[in-house]
Amino acid sequence: MNKQISYACAGTCSKQVDIELEDGVIRHVAFTGGCHGNTQGIAALVRGMRAEEAVARLKGIDCRGRGTSCPDQLAKALEEAGHEE
């Protein structure tokens, strides 16, 4: 079953993250805003990964003392969609 998630980011340079899941597996991630190379890298690394594994790996990563980061926001989006670690 496919699921589309759009999540408004908070506390980061990226403004939004859009995620496509298929049976709990991440098929596509696209960030709006943020550091283009870094967000492309994150998206490429999590493609094909189970959502729960991505949450476990990315949750809590901090960027410059902000208490969150683009990877952390991706984890939060997946958690809110019901894919917790």
Considering only CA atoms, which of 85, 84, 83 is closest in space to residue 22? 83
Tens digits of per-residue pLDDT, 18-60? 999 999 999 999 999 999 999 999 999 999 999 999 999 999 9
Contact assessment for residue 13 and residue 35, using Cβ atoms and an 8 Å cutoff: yes
At 84 the pLDDT is 60
pTM assigned to the model: 0.94
Helix (H) or strand (E) holding 16: strand 14-22
User: What fold characterizes domain 2-80?
Assistant: Enolase-like; domain 1 (3.30.390)
Nearest 10 degrees: CA dihedral of 17, 29, 61, 58?
130
The domain spans of the chain are 2-80
Is the model's pLDDT at 83 over the cut of 80? no
Is the model's pLDDT at 85 over the cut of 80? no
